[in-house]
């Protein structure tokens, strides 16, 4: 088996990403790797109103980031085995690009993610984010079904 020291797991708070987190933590425990759980906040579609107060928009963004961080920490606490060392990180942007960028910046050796997430009903078999990561990732990718 290759020397996997850092494992990134993509979390979108779906049941499938809970299964991916459990798999990542179990695998990391067996091979002595560290786990990084990443959730990407995708900005809402559409333009910001031209008359929007920049201070208000920044406050709103910070509230969303803080809320997502709390949600991710609770998700990790609920779905990772007790005592597992999991670093949680919130990013913003396009999911596949941010996950790939984060994996490169953190020196990730393995990516674990669900085959589809919260948009899974609209997409067949493998979700578009998962498929994109699978095709573009420079490291091995483990896909987990829920």
In the predicted structure, residue 125 carries a pLDDT above the cut 70: no
Measured CA to CA, the distance from residue 3 to residue 18 in angstroms comes to: 24
Question: Residue 105: what pLDDT?
Answer: 96
Q: Show the tokens assigned to 31.
A: 């091979």
Note the pTM of the prediction, 2 decimals: 0.86
Mean pLDDT, the chain, rounded, equals 87
Which pLDDT does position 48 carry in this prediction? 65
Say whether pLDDT at 96 is over 50. Answer: yes
pLDDT digits (tens, 9 = 90+) for 16-56: 999 999 999 999 999 999 999 999 998 766 666 677 788 88
Tell me what pLDDT residue 1 has.
Answer: 55
As a whole-number percent, the residues of the chain with pLDDT over 90 amount to 68
What pLDDT is stored for residue 66 in this prediction? 95
Sheet-wide strand order for 141-144:
86-92, 34-41, 6-10, 110-114, 141-144
- Phi and psi at residue 135, in whole multiples of 5°? -75, -35
CATH superfamily, with its number, for domain 6-144 = HUPs (3.40.50.620)
Task: Decide the pairing of beta strands 6-10 and 110-114.
Answer: parallel
Whole-number percent of the chain with pLDDT over 70:
86
Judged against a pLDDT cut of 90, whether residue 12 lies above it is answered with yes
Tens digits of residue pLDDT in 68-93: 999 999 999 999 988 888 999 999 99
* Residue 119 in this model has a pLDDT that exceeds 70: no
Question: For the residues 2-15, what does the mean pLDDT come to?
Answer: 92
Domain boundaries along the sequence of the chain: 6-144
């Amino acid at each position: 088996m290759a020397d996997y020291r850092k494992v990134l797991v993509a979390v979108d708070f779906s049941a499938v990403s809970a299964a991916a987190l459990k798999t990542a933590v179990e695998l990391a425990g067996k091979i002595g790797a560290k786990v990084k759980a990443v959730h990407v906040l995708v900005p809402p579609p559409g333009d910001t109103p031209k008359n929007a107060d920049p201070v208000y928009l920044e406050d709103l963004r910070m509230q969303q980031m803080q809320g997502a961080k709390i949600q991710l920490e609770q998700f990790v606490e609920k779905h990772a085995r007790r005592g597992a060392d999991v670093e949680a990180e919130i990013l913003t942007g396009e999911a596949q690009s941010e996950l790939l960028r984060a994996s490169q910046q953190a020196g990730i050796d393995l990516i674990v993610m669900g085959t589809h997430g919260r948009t899974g009903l609209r997409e067949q078999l493998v979700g578009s984010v998962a498929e994109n990561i699978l095709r573009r990732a420079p490291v091995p990718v483990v896909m987990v079904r829920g």
